[in-house]
Chains A and B, each alone.
Chain A
Amino acid sequence: MDELLNDFVAETRETAQAIAGEIVLWEADPADQARLDSIFRFIHTVKGSCGFLDLPRLERLSHAAEDALSAVRAGLRTPDARLVTAVLAIIDRIGMLVDAIETGESVSDRDDTALVQALSLMADPAAARPDAEQAAYPAPVRTMARSIRVPIDLLDRMMAGVSDLVLARNELSRGLRVSAEGSAVMAGFERLSGSIAEMRETITRTRMARVDQLFSALPRLIRDVSAELGKRVVLHIEGGDVELDREMIEMVRDPLIHIVRNAVDHGIEPPADRVLAGKPAAGAVRVAARQSGNQILIEISDDGRGIDPDALLRKAVAAGVVSQAAAARMDRDAALALIFRAGFSTAEQVSTVSGRGVGMDVVHANVERIGGQVTIDSQPGQGLHIILRVPMTLTIIPALTVSVAGQPFAIPRSVIEEILRVSAASVRIERGCGLTTVSIRGERLPLVGLAETLAGGAAGGAAGGGAGDCDPPILVVLRPGNGGRYVLGVDAAHDHEELVVKPAAPAIMAIGIYGGVTMPDDNRPMLLLDAAGIAARTGIDIATAPAPIVAEAAVPTIPTLLFRDLDGAERAIRLGAIERIEEVAGSDCTLIAGQLRLNRDGVVVPLLSMTGSVADRPKLRVLRISDGTERLAYAIDQVIDIVDLAEAVAPAPDPGLVCGVVMVADRLVELVDPYWMFAAVARAQVPAGVRPLALLVAREDGWMRAFLRPIVEAAGYRVAFAGEDGATTARATVVIADGSLPDAGGGDAVRLRLRHAATGDADIWRYDRQALVRALDAARGGAR
């Protein structure tokens, strides 16, 4: 139901109940002017709302009652029992109709006229007995109201109560873990935990309101602004049913209105220009909301002239916002981001509607303050597309915890661009004249030491200059908005957490470097740092700090899946290789024809695993891996996480299921190799008959059979030993010998050497696996 109508229903029902009492009292004392006034006001309000909401029946009824009452007020009529009855009847009917609006039922309007007539002076008392007549109808079933109105304050208290519950639960959980592991108490506790979590979720939802509330002001705004500017604009609204925290709606309201107003003022061209440009005379502004994970996206797009990044740059240079040199290095996105700089308006002419230079910078700052982001994309001549991303609730902000001198602080994730170690090869700290900069991959950014800032008071807390300035070990690259960036040096970076952030006391907010306060699960308050505030305090003018020169040449990362392998070890695999992850029963896995296979719904794929004991497990998870044509599965215990890892891999010395080692946080994790898996399966699937023959000519038969044979077979060969089954060198693709080399026939010959020696001959040391495999592969290549 429409939000407005909903409010009307709730409000009317509430006051109607109160007013019925007033009327009865008024009847007892008709001279009571105050009572009469309040009754009149109620009827009047209902009438007004009905006109607005287009409810003609209610309007007619309330209008009649209003007329009668105003006659009483003017002294033209004295109230008598008949009048009071008639007014009461009308109020009852209003209540019925209002219920009907909510439930969607219909109420017969047969006796509306009778009700109205009952009010008139002339009416015959007998004719005006709506009560009697009404008795003939089935008693109206008063369906329970499906919504109630609750003060926000009460909701806040409920929220605080639930937060307390969560904290108490955490404390209890710590205690129970020690004393009651596995007991029945624990099971009860788990249930309690579950219901608390559910309750928290429900209460969070009660604070949600439809984004419709935000959008309802837009049609009028567009109408007024376009009328003033002589433009024609059509507004499209989508996604009004998306829900957002009530407080958040208030925070987003001004930015949204500003952007929409800008779109009409600066974006949409006058009709004549539009026609010349081959566009419809009426411009279109589209406002759409949608939910994406924990965020709400509000998109505002228009089909106007857009923003020309080059024109923006020229203006920025002319206004002294950026230097000529900096401008020359900016790419399109960086140039567009200039619109968020303070005191910078794109309008050629200042109009009454917008263009006073207070604008997008304020929008940007406001949205960022609530943990959101603004992105902008422009197609000159085609229009502008702005996306506001805001968290669904005001209070929960994804943040990184860092610490200096043992005290933890939180930094909103949205301003963090990168976290680096000072020891990283691409990072160099440069000092000079009290100013410290960090050079990251060739780009210089000012460095601010958090410890110095917090200790140093207002006198330029930039790191360096001080006596004991050892470099902070962890550098956090921050982009607090306005396009500028700087680096914050901290002692340690800890977790990424979703934190419930509340504003701190005014005396603390006034310091200017804190954005709020949060209470992590350990029940110790933690301060949230305000990245822009720290920059302002330390005197770094981030607006003039060099804009990104390198177009985001951050360390390329590859999404990688971390999992617990069957042998208990943590391993990783590149996410791109995985088709899906599924849970299967151990009985679906069978060792058949020398290969473990997974049979799922009649489709059989090879199954690989680190250990052999797959079929004994009741359940296991498998990674379905595809190379585009072939499929196989890899058995794991469980999925741990998906992380972005650098491309760099320390390769394993020998090819195998594990192709190398990667760094995950501070741990070394083996990376499994899908290439090897497919290669292994593919080799095994080539029928023995068509595999090339490797003839082993052995002096030391045992070593050849036990050690060399598996390697040769793994390389895709059929193995025969000299003197067996009439194996001859003539049919062999490769001949391997550890002694004198027989005539190799048409194939390659490899002679193995017992000891490692740096001789220049073609012999291969028998433990030089790579050389051996290379030789085997080369031989097979030659055979084709």
Chain B
Amino acid sequence: MLIVRIAGESVALPAETVESVVEIEAMTAVPLAPPHVVGLAALRSRVVTIVDPRAVMDTLTGVRGAPDMPFSAVVVAIDGHPYGIVVDEVLDVLPATGSPSPLQGRVTGGWSAMMRSSVIVEGRQYLLIDPAGLVAGGNGDVQPTAAAVN
């Protein structure tokens, strides 16, 4: 498990989905993109779509500005596309005890959209981020912009 800090909270990312952790220094903005898609960055010859979990987390806070440069991003590949998840800090890589278990009760705010389970790491419970849910804008199956276009 990759333990990262996002918006002040320590959460877990499944390490097997993580390709690398990179420092992003420059980004290309994507006008009209959903709020959580904050830009495009170059990772060697690949173009990485940068998504910011904070934008997904709490839609009440409205659209956040792009994160301050440079920032750390965790690179994951979903359906063949590389995404960079903006994190405050990468804390550690630790083995999980047992397999993830479904969430008991509700998590607050937008966290619910990208968390479906929790995992025990070194005796402590961490919420496990579902990168696919995050990339889909926290709204697993509906992409609001898609409907408007087609």
Residues of chain B with a CB closer than 8 A to A524's CB: 26, 28, 42
The yes or no answer to B97 lying at the interface (CB within 8 A) is: no
The residue that A160 contacts in the complex, of B34, B37, B46, B150, with Cβ under 8 A, is: B46
Given A407-B29, A513-B32: A525 in contact with B47 (beta carbons within 8 A): yes
The yes or no answer to B20 lying at the interface (CB within 8 A) is: no
A161 nearest in chain B by CB position: B45
State A502–B135 Cα separation when bound (angstroms).
Answer: 19
Q: Cβ of A519 and Cβ of B45 under 8 Å apart?
A: yes
B47 to A: closest C-beta gap in Å: 4
Residues of chain A with a CB closer than 8 A to B79's CB: 506
| Interface residue stretch chosen among A292-300, A418-426, A452-460 | A452-460
A536 nearest in chain B by CB position: B149
A490 to B: closest C-beta gap in Å: 13
A172 to B: closest C-beta gap in Å: 14
Interface of A is mostly: mixed
The yes or no answer to B145 lying at the interface (CB within 8 A) is: yes
A610 to B: closest C-beta gap in Å: 45
Q: Cβ of B41 and Cβ of A510 under 8 Å apart?
A: no
Q: Cβ of B42 and Cβ of A507 under 8 Å apart?
A: no
State A511–B35 Cα separation when bound (angstroms).
Answer: 12
State A517–B30 Cα separation when bound (angstroms).
Answer: 10
Q: Cβ of B28 and Cβ of A526 under 8 Å apart?
A: yes
Residues of chain B with a CB closer than 8 A to A454's CB: 31-32
State A455–B28 Cα separation when bound (angstroms).
Answer: 15
The yes or no answer to B137 lying at the interface (CB within 8 A) is: yes
B45 to A: closest C-beta gap in Å: 4
State A510–B30 Cα separation when bound (angstroms).
Answer: 12
The yes or no answer to A114 lying at the interface (CB within 8 A) is: no
State A457–B30 Cα separation when bound (angstroms).
Answer: 12
Complex interface bits, B14-33 against A, C-beta within 8 A gives 1, otherwise 0: 00000000000010111111
The yes or no answer to B106 lying at the interface (CB within 8 A) is: no
Which interface class (under 10, 10 to 19, 20 to 34, 35 or more) fits A?
A: 20 to 34
Q: Cβ of B143 and Cβ of A508 under 8 Å apart?
A: no
State A163–B146 Cα separation when bound (angstroms).
Answer: 31
State A334–B124 Cα separation when bound (angstroms).
Answer: 70
Complex interface bits, B117-149 against A, C-beta within 8 A gives 1, otherwise 0: 000000000000000000111000001011011
B14 to A: closest C-beta gap in Å: 20
A407 nearest in chain B by CB position: B29
The yes or no answer to A17 lying at the interface (CB within 8 A) is: no
State A716–B56 Cα separation when bound (angstroms).
Answer: 84
Q: Cβ of B146 and Cβ of A510 under 8 Å apart?
A: yes
The yes or no answer to A512 lying at the interface (CB within 8 A) is: yes
Given A160-B46, A519-B45, A524-B26: A508 in contact with B149 (beta carbons within 8 A): no
Given A517-B47, A524-B42, A525-B28: A505 in contact with B135 (beta carbons within 8 A): yes
Q: Cβ of B136 and Cβ of A507 under 8 Å apart?
A: yes
Q: Cβ of B149 and Cβ of A507 under 8 Å apart?
A: no
B150 to A: closest C-beta gap in Å: 8
The yes or no answer to A523 lying at the interface (CB within 8 A) is: yes
State A505–B137 Cα separation when bound (angstroms).
Answer: 12
A730 to B: closest C-beta gap in Å: 84
Q: Cβ of A537 and Cβ of B149 under 8 Å apart?
A: yes
State A511–B44 Cα separation when bound (angstroms).
Answer: 25
B41 to A: closest C-beta gap in Å: 7
B29 nearest in chain A by CB position: A407
Residues of chain A with a CB closer than 8 A to B137's CB: 507
Q: Cβ of B148 and Cβ of A507 under 8 Å apart?
A: no
Q: Cβ of A164 and Cβ of B136 under 8 Å apart?
A: no
Q: Cβ of B135 and Cβ of A457 under 8 Å apart?
A: no
Q: Cβ of B149 and Cβ of A510 under 8 Å apart?
A: yes
Residues of chain B with a CB closer than 8 A to A511's CB: 30, 32-34, 145, 149
Residues of chain B with a CB closer than 8 A to A533's CB: 149
Q: Cβ of B31 and Cβ of A525 under 8 Å apart?
A: no
Interface residues of A in 498-551 (CB under 8 A from B): 502, 504-508, 510-514, 517-519, 523-527, 533, 536-537
Residues of chain B with a CB closer than 8 A to A167's CB: 44-45
B101 to A: closest C-beta gap in Å: 29
A457 nearest in chain B by CB position: B32
Q: Cβ of A527 and Cβ of B45 under 8 Å apart?
A: no
Residues of chain B with a CB closer than 8 A to A526's CB: 28
B25 to A: closest C-beta gap in Å: 11
Residues of chain A with a CB closer than 8 A to B150's CB: 512
Residue of B79, B137, B143 most packed against chain A (CB within 10 A): B143
Complex interface bits, A605-638 against B, C-beta within 8 A gives 1, otherwise 0: 0000000000000000000000000000000000
A537 nearest in chain B by CB position: B149
Residue of A508, A523, A525 most packed against chain B (CB within 10 A): A525
The yes or no answer to B40 lying at the interface (CB within 8 A) is: yes
Q: Cβ of B81 and Cβ of A506 under 8 Å apart?
A: yes
State A511–B32 Cα separation when bound (angstroms).
Answer: 7
The contact sample of 21 A-B pairs, CB cut-off 8 A, is: A164-B44, A407-B31, A457-B32, A504-B47, A504-B81, A505-B37, A505-B49, A507-B37, A507-B49, A508-B37, A510-B143, A510-B145, A511-B30, A511-B145, A512-B149, A512-B150, A519-B47, A525-B47, A526-B28, A527-B40, A537-B149
Q: Across chains A and B, which 8 residue pairs bring their CB atoms closest together, nearest first?
A: A512-B149, A454-B31, A163-B45, A525-B40, A505-B49, A510-B146, A525-B47, A505-B81
Instruction: Apart from A504-B47, A536-B149, list 6 A-B contacts with CB within 8 A.
Output: A504-B49, A507-B145, A510-B149, A517-B47, A524-B42, A525-B41
